[in-house]
Amino acid sequence: ETDQPANDELAGLHVLVTAGPTQEPLDPVRYLTNHSTGKMGYALAQEAQAMGAEVTLVSGPVALDEPDGVHTVHVQTAQEMFDAVHGHFAQADIAIMAAAVGDFRPEHRSEQKIKKTGGVMPPITLVQNPDILAWAGEHKRPDGSQLVCGFAMETQDLLANAQSKLERKHCDMLVANDLNEPGAGFAHDTNRVVILTPDTDKNATAGENGSKIHAEPQPLMDKRDLAAVILG
Ligand code: CTP
Ligand code: CA
């Protein structure tokens, strides 16, 4: 399926990838979730494995087969995804957070199915989930030997929002998705993104707190090819 030549650019390195959505249960039969097929994260895991890396894939519920040769950890909630990343992060040389993590979860999870009796749905109080990417950015090895890459899904102000995420979450790379672009985002085999990296280049755009950002718009491409660009 892949026409990439075999290479060993990532031989000896550990790559940690998150993928797919999370599901935040409300009761035994209902949950809150995000749109995500997991295709981008699975493509990254497969590509990193093909490049010789040892890969751990922390995946939310998706309808994809586990990639060959990849250690796949299945999780449901954002908290479970955070716990799995927490347990694998120290060994990772490269961590790529491609999951569509639920920002909020219901504060209470009903033990029993919530009944419609009475006709009134009880109000749902939400609480915030841990930000896995931000945690990783904060806990990188101080010697700079760990790279953290995030994604950003935006429907407006792509560059400004993506720049602020890159800086706020201490990322070494941020892959920004404009959901208004045809062929981009979830449920497509292709993606169209802008890749942001911190840059000392004088021509770079100044971001928040005066730091410089380098923004590289990418053509519409297959997710596997994009994975190779991100890992290259
Ligand atoms: N992310 C994460 N944990 C979370 C939320 C987001 O690891 N609880 C990661 C995603 O995997 C992605 C990046 O953060 O790599 C950006 O996700 P996004 O939803 O675009 O950004 P947020 O920071 O959650 O901001 P908002 O949803 O408000 O735009
Ligand atoms: Ca979010």
- Kindly give the distance from the C-alpha atom of residue 189 to the centroid of ligand 1, in angstroms, as a whole number: 21
How many A from CA of 130 to the centre of ligand 2? 11
Q: How far is CA 24 from CA 4, 101, 109, 151, 166, in A?
A: 37, 10, 9, 21, 26
Distance CA 149, CA 173 (A): 5
Each residue's pLDDT tens digit, 80-104 = 999 999 999 999 999 999 999 999 9
pLDDT at residue 200 greater than cutoff 70: no
* pLDDT confidence band for 199 (50 / 70 / 90): confident
Question: How many Cβ atoms are within 10 Å of 215's Cβ, its own excluded?
Answer: 19
Q: How many residues are given for the chain?
A: 232
Q: What does the pLDDT look like over 149-195, one tens digit per residue?
A: 999 999 999 999 999 999 999 999 999 998 887 777 667 888 889 99
Contact 54, 28 (CB under 8 A): no
In this predicted model, what pLDDT tens digit does every residue of 6-34 receive, in sequence order? 689 999 999 999 999 999 999 999 999 99
Percent of the chain clearing pLDDT 70 (strictly above): 91
Q: What is the pLDDT of residue 215?
A: 94
> Could you tell me the pLDDT band of residue 130, with boundaries at 50, 70 and 90?
very high
For the cut 70, the answer to whether the pLDDT of residue 208 exceeds it is no
Residue range 131-159: average pLDDT?
Answer: 96
pLDDT of residue 179: 83
Q: Averaging pLDDT over each range in 2-11, 109-118, 146-155, which range is the top one?
A: 146-155
Q: 194 CB under 6 A from ligand 1?
A: no
CB within 8 A of 139, min separation 6: which ones? 89
Q: Which ligand is nearest to the CA of 153?
A: 1
Please report the pLDDT score of residue 107 as a whole number.
97
- Complex ipTM over 0.95: yes
Ligand 1 atom closest to Cα of residue 98? 11
> DSSP code of 40?
H
Contact 134, 168 (CB under 8 A): yes
- In this prediction, residues 122-139 reach a mean pLDDT of 96
Band (68; pLDDT cuts 50, 70, 90) = very high
In the chain, the percentage of residues whose pLDDT exceeds 90 is 78
Distance 182 CA to ligand 1 centre (A): 22
Is the shortest distance between the CB of 151 and ligand 1 below 6 Å? yes
Q: How far does Cα 104 stand from its chain's mean position?
A: 16
The ligand that comes nearest to the alpha carbon of residue 154 is 1
Distance CA 163, CA 181 (A): 18
Q: Residue 97 and residue 228: Cα distance in Å, rounded?
A: 15
2, pLDDT greater than 60: no
In this model, does residue 1 exceed pLDDT 60?
A: no
For residue 174, list its beta bridge partners: 150, 196
CB distance 42 to ligand 1 below 6 Å: no
